[in-house]
Structure 1
Amino acid sequence: MAPPALWLLRHAQPLIAPGVCYGQLDVPADPQHTLQAALRAGAALPRQAVVRHSPLQRCEQLAHALQAPEALLVPDARLQEMHFGRWEGQAWSTIARPELDAWGQDLYHTAPGGGESLAAMLQRVSSALRHSWAQDSRHGQRDVVWVTHAGVIRCVQWLLQYGHAQPRAQDWTLPAPAFGEWLRLPLAGMATTVRTLQS
């Protein structure tokens, strides 16, 4: 049996035009893609796990589609994508270049579209990670599944690798799984890192 892990599962393809900034817009995912993703993930994920998910429907759809009877399903607003404020619903190509440049120049502190800064997002994902470690995994003893978004998955990787360090735009190159795919992070050895996030 594989040791317990944190499974970061990205929602299926959303039903929105390509090139649109959607962030926390509550758009649904393609039902067929969701079902296919649930079947793939269901064959790999542990059955007795806490399944924590973003309350946005594209994640909720997948969480419900893959849920095993033994799993505990928990919505968590901290697992939502970044909020892009007034940019949401706009094509990226129509957002004013000076606004995009300002965000790129200070990725950590600038709130894109007046929404949420990366600093604020890292803080809420850190809170979710600490809580999930202590309560869901029982300090590394039980598998945990997050059904979430690319931005959250990048935040988890950053926090585990760099802690409270402030990323610049050129640093923010962490990979994210494709729609309906996942990243598995073993819980073994995560205790020390999680403790540093509490300071």
Structure 2
Amino acid sequence: MRLILVRHPAPQVSSGICYGSSDVAVAHHEREKVRTSLRHRLPPHIPVYTSPLLRCLDLAQQLAEDLSASALHLDTRLAEMDFGTWEMRPWHTIPRTEIDAWAADLAHYRPGGGENVLGMATRLQAFQHDLLREQHGVAILICHAGTIRLLTALQARLSLEETALLAASSAHKIDYGTTTVINF
């Protein structure tokens, strides 16, 4: 199975804000820019899976229509990590001791009391198993940078804890609206 992972367009949120699982919108022109760049490069008549967060869902609905997708599936397991009380706060206002505690325990620490990377890896592994059972040749996933990092890290077939650490320590920048292709 080939997965075409698409990071959502740039959200309408100020730079330097932690927005993880917050449901922030995308400007119309940003969505259209990404949609235009993708609709002629992606294969038609295949399923589209999306995070239910608005910044992904809007693009997924448009692409599914453009590509005459065989189905559009919303899956909460594709959502970005929940940063708890850090959500919608400027990163520079989060106490340095909390950032350091997260850096010291990337897999288990719960930023802002929210979700940890290991928990996110667990839900994405469950999504991956369910998706593989459906036996699609190709599928498109509209999701988030953290989701893409973890799905890519799952390819290494490490333990979930090692997968979480690999993804969390990845310095790979994933630009808005770009694609990453992985094969299972």
Query: Residues 169 and 96 of structure 1: is their aligned pair in 2 closer, same or farther, counting only changes over 3 Å?
Result: farther
Q: How many pairs does the alignment contain?
A: 180
Question: Could you tell me which residue of structure 2 aligns to residue 197 of structure 1?
Answer: none
TM-score of the two chains, using structure 1 as the length reference? 0.85
1:152 to 147, 152, 156: 147
> What is the one-letter code of the residue matched to 2:49?
R
Q: CA deviation at 1:173?
A: 1.3
Distance 2:105 2:85 in 1: 18
Alpha-carbon distance in 1 for matches of 2:21, 2:69: 30
Residue 131 of structure 2 aligns with which residue? 132
Which residue number in structure 2 is paired with residue 43 of structure 1? 40
CA contact (8 A) 1:106 1:169 kept: no
Closer/same/farther in 2, CA of residues 9 and 170 from structure 1, 3 Å limit: closer
Report the secondary structure of 2:147's partner residue: helix
Q: Whole-Å Cα distance in 2 between the matches of residues 38 and 169 of structure 1? A: 30
Aligned partner of 2:88 in structure 1 is 89
AA aligned to 2:179 is: W
Does the CA-based 8 Å contact 1:20-1:90 persist in structure 2? Answer: yes
**Cα 1:99–1:11, aligned 2, differ >3 Å: closer, same or farther?**
same
Cα deviations across residues 31-78 of structure 1 (Å, max 9, x unaligned)? 111111112111111112110000000000110121122431000000
Aligned residue identity for 1:109:
H
Question: What 5-or-longer segments of structure 1 have no aligned partner?
Answer: 191-199
Matches within 5 A, 1:1-199: 5-67=2-64, 68-135=67-134, 138=135, 141-164=136-159, 165-166=161-162, 167-168=164-165, 172-173=169-170, 175-186=172-183, 190=184
Structure 1 residue 168, shift from structure 2 partner: 4.0
1:162 Cα deviation from its structure 2 partner: 4.3
- The answer (yes or no) to whether the contact 1:54–1:60 under 8 Å persists in 2 is yes
Q: Tell me the distance in 2 between the aligned counterparts of 1:171 and 1:117.
A: 10
CA RMSD of aligned residues (A): 1.7
Q: Normalising to structure 2: TM-score of the pair?
A: 0.92
Identity score, percent: 32
Asked if structure 2 preserves the Cα contact closer than 8 Å seen for 1:10 and 1:150, the reply is yes
